[in-house]
Amino acid sequence: MSQPTGTAIPPRERLIFALDVDGPERARQLVETLGDSVVFYKVGLELFMAGGYFELVDWLVARGKKVFVDLKFFDIPQTVAGAVKRLSGRGVTFATVHGNDGIVEAACRAKGDLKILAVTVLTSLDEGDMRDLGFETDISSLVLSRARRALALGCDGVVSSGREVRAIKREVGDGLAVVVPGIRPGSNRPTDDQKRTVDVEEAFELGADYIVIGRPIRDAEDPRAAAEAIQQRIAAFFAGRSSGTPEAPA
């Protein structure tokens, strides 16, 4: 189980950049461009299918970066356990699992030095999508149920929309780290496939431990400046919280 989070996480590690590009060469170029503005990288399915995935993971770790392997392992428990075991000892920080209790429990038994994150409900899904999938329950109830089970099964954290973070923290306290994707730094709602989004400060005010941001940094005219601007907002938020006086974002 994860240790209590809170202020123990260095502010600059709270931003996880989604390295969703079409190949490892472009990924390396972007990492070099971002420099020290990003410490933590999420490496997902698109890069996995492009080839050279684990070489890229090792390259990131060798440069002192933290790595979040976001492959959402979902298969029979024995296969998931084997996949997780292959990641252990590689210097990876987080890996995601998406499945029932047997799958999640198998991943947790095999995790070694990894931290396992259980996916609750993808941020691209809304209530209508859940009905299409056959879930006759509201998203909040399903997220809370999965968070409770994740804690009981030995997970270190969950991936959740910012809209459910407060309820998760109320339910499990600091027993689980909460990673929030679908962050949109501006005031405009997204025109992409994300539906349940929140802003940077809103996510942390609700109780998020980490936020995942991709397109708003990757597609910016100056990705490094965009990442640094978000880092300044995070730093200001936590500086204000530690002093008891919230500060305005930079």
97 within a domain of the structure (yes/no): yes
233 within a domain of the structure (yes/no): no
Task: State the pLDDT confidence band at 122, using cuts at 50, 70 and 90.
Answer: low
Q: Please check the confidence at residue 123 and state whether its pLDDT lies above 60.
A: no
Name the helix (H) or strand (E) containing 141.
helix 139-153
206 within a domain of the structure (yes/no): yes
164 within a domain of the structure (yes/no): yes
Strands 210-213 and 177-180: parallel
pLDDT in tens, 29-80: 999 999 999 999 999 999 999 999 999 999 999 999 999 999 999 999 999 9
Indicate the SS3 state at residue 144.
Answer: helix
The one-letter amino acid code at 216 reads P
184 within a domain of the structure (yes/no): yes
Supply the CATH number for residue 25's domain: 3.20.20.70
Q: Please check the confidence at residue 129 and state whether its pLDDT lies above 60.
A: no
* Domain range for 155: 6-223
Indicate the SS3 state at residue 230.
Answer: helix
CA distance 53 to 49: 8
245 within a domain of the structure (yes/no): no
pLDDT in tens, 69-111: 999 999 999 999 999 999 999 999 999 998 889 999 999 999 9
At 38, list the tokens.
């990003």
Structural domain total, the chain: 1
- Positions annotated as catalytic residues are 72
Average pLDDT score, the chain: 86
What's the whole-model pTM score? 0.86
CA distance 205 to 20: 27
